[in-house]
Amino acid sequence: MTALAMVRIVEREAEVFRRLWRAFVFSNVVSPVLFLGAMGLGLGGLIDARSRGIGGGLSYVEFIAPGLMAANAMQSGAGMSLWPILGGMKWIRYFHGMVATPVRARDVYWGELAWSGLRTAVTSSVFLVVATLFGGIHSPWAVLAVPAAMLCALAFSAPLMAFSATQETDLGFPLVFRLGVMPLFLFSGTFFPVSQLPSAVRPLAAVSPLWHGVELCRAAATGSFRFGPIVAHVAVLSALVAAGAWWGTRTFERRLSP
């Protein structure tokens, strides 16, 4: 039942996406590509001329391509879980229409989560192609960075969708970005290795979901896997998805079927 209902919700979101994909391409593909160009090629040219690469002999564009891919997944996962969810609950209210059918509140949650993962897979794939053209990707293992980015997006979407379902207004959402997404974006090994962080705050990187996502994407993009860390990163992100889903099925139920 849940699987089928999920597909129907994804169908609805895909239908809307089909109409609005141009705006989506701009925010989710063009802007990360601009970042990749400016930082990877511009700043990277400067860095590569002065050092012999970072993080094990990688050129700067090779270093940040998987980092940006994971960061982009985080932003898309978070963005899709805040305003659009409150929109479905409160502004457009179409979630209420859904739960008047055999679809249940928890199906709405799972469907929206599936859609978030699916859309991230699409953007990450496009990003991967562009990053390869920019010279940021050389290993064929890099295709595994797509599911890694997807898992990273879900680790943000699952708890944030649950949170959005408890909100009456969107006043808290910019804070999520300013105090959550933005610092993570800057300090999770995206633009420089976390070993550059002061030793006092370095352990904090381990609690950043993005850092785990970046590490997974980078391992895939460079084709250098170490079993232990991979398992740990996947476990942390999966635990976030599981906890978020546990919470989300409850908050959606409470909001849509009070």
Partner 1 sequence: MPLVEGRGLVKRFGPAVAVDGIDFAVRPGECFGFLGPNGAGKSSTMRMIACVSPISGGSLRVLGLDPRSDGPAIRAQLGVVPQEDNLDTELSVWDNLMIYGRYFGLSKSVIRSRATELLDFVQLTDRRDSRVDPLSGGMKRRLTIARALINQPSLLLLDEPTTGLDPQARHQLWDRLYRLKRDGVTIVLTTHYMDEAEQLCDRLVIMDGGRIVAEGSPRALIEAYSTREVVELRFDDEGLHSSAASCLATFDGRVEGLADRFLVYSSHGEETLAKLTADGLEPSSALVRRATLEDVFLILTGRTLED
Site residues, partner 1 (CB under 8 A): 1, 4-5, 8, 11-12, 15-16, 19, 92-94, 96-104, 256-258
Which C-beta is closer to partner 1: that of 6 or that of 130?
6
Q: Shortest Cβ distance from residue 64 to partner 1 (Å)?
A: 35
The residue to which tokens 């891919």 are assigned: 69
Q: Encoding tokens for residue 106?
A: 């928890």
Beta-bridge mates of residue 54: 58
Which C-beta is closer to partner 1: that of 222 or that of 251?
251
List Cβ neighbours of 178 (8 Å cut-off, separation of 6 or more).
Answer: none
Question: CA-to-CA distance for 99 and 254, rounded, in angstroms?
Answer: 12
Q: Shortest Cβ distance from residue 110 to partner 1 (Å)?
A: 14
DSSP 26: I
Which C-beta is closer to partner 1: that of 12 or that of 138?
12
10 Å CB burial of residue 204 (0-12, 13-18, 19+) is middle
Which C-beta is closer to partner 1: that of 32 or that of 84?
84
List Cβ neighbours of 81 (8 Å cut-off, separation of 6 or more).
Answer: 112, 116, 156, 157, 160, 161, 163, 164
Q: Shortest Cβ distance from residue 151 to partner 1 (Å)?
A: 28
DSSP 101: T
Q: Shortest Cβ distance from residue 34 to partner 1 (Å)?
A: 28
Q: Shortest Cβ distance from residue 90 to partner 1 (Å)?
A: 10
DSSP 3-state of 54:
strand
Which C-beta is closer to partner 1: that of 65 or that of 98?
98
Which C-beta is closer to partner 1: that of 88 or that of 248?
88
Q: Encoding tokens for residue 246?
A: 């546990």
Q: How many CB atoms lie within 10 A of CB 57?
A: 10
Q: Shortest Cβ distance from residue 100 to partner 1 (Å)?
A: 4
